Amino acid sequence: HVPSTGYLKSFKLTRVAGAYWRGDSHQDVLQRVYGVAFQHPNHLAEYLHFMEEANKRDHRKLGKQLSLFMFSEEAPGMPFYLPKGQIVRNELMAFSREVRGKAQYEEVSTPFMMNQELWEKSGHWDHYHENMYFSEVDHTSFALKPMNCPG
């Protein structure tokens, strides 16, 4: 934040988008305006160049172009690794294991679904229960891990 827009010597509007008031499709559509601002024009130029280079390396585009992975509406945001992508993934995992091994770290694996009581004890319940996925088994509530942590 700046006390006055007078400090902003260089700016660029980057995109516009419509959004419903409070996310409610029955409300009016508002216009969102996105932009960036810098005190010096050369900082803006550096930023725009950086963003241009970053867009060339967008993993979503590259993954599709190189047939590394795909996405499906049945699992939004979850990659389906294709053969070449699985090779890359396996190589990264092997490299990671090698580095961790040299540092004497040990690998563990914990269940993806655990009893609700664990989430209450760990403190995850208070922060994440509204966004967790549950299943009832033999009158006991189980939930999927809300993040990649042991539990």
Q: Does the pLDDT of residue 151 top 70, yes or no?
A: no
Residue with tokens 């539990």: 151
Tell me the average pLDDT across 85-96: 97
Instruction: For strands 10-20 and 29-38, give the pairing.
Output: antiparallel
Considering only residues 124 and 105, tell me which one the structure prediction assigns the higher pLDDT.
Answer: 105
| pLDDT the model gives residue 148 | 75
Q: Does the pLDDT of residue 72 top 70, yes or no?
A: yes
Q: Using an 8 Å Cβ cutoff, are 68 and 83 in contact?
A: no
Q: Does the pLDDT of residue 66 top 70, yes or no?
A: yes
| pLDDT the model gives residue 2 | 82
Tell me the average pLDDT across 51-62: 92
Considering only residues 88 and 137, tell me which one the structure prediction assigns the higher pLDDT.
Answer: 88
Considering only residues 22 and 18, tell me which one the structure prediction assigns the higher pLDDT.
Answer: 18
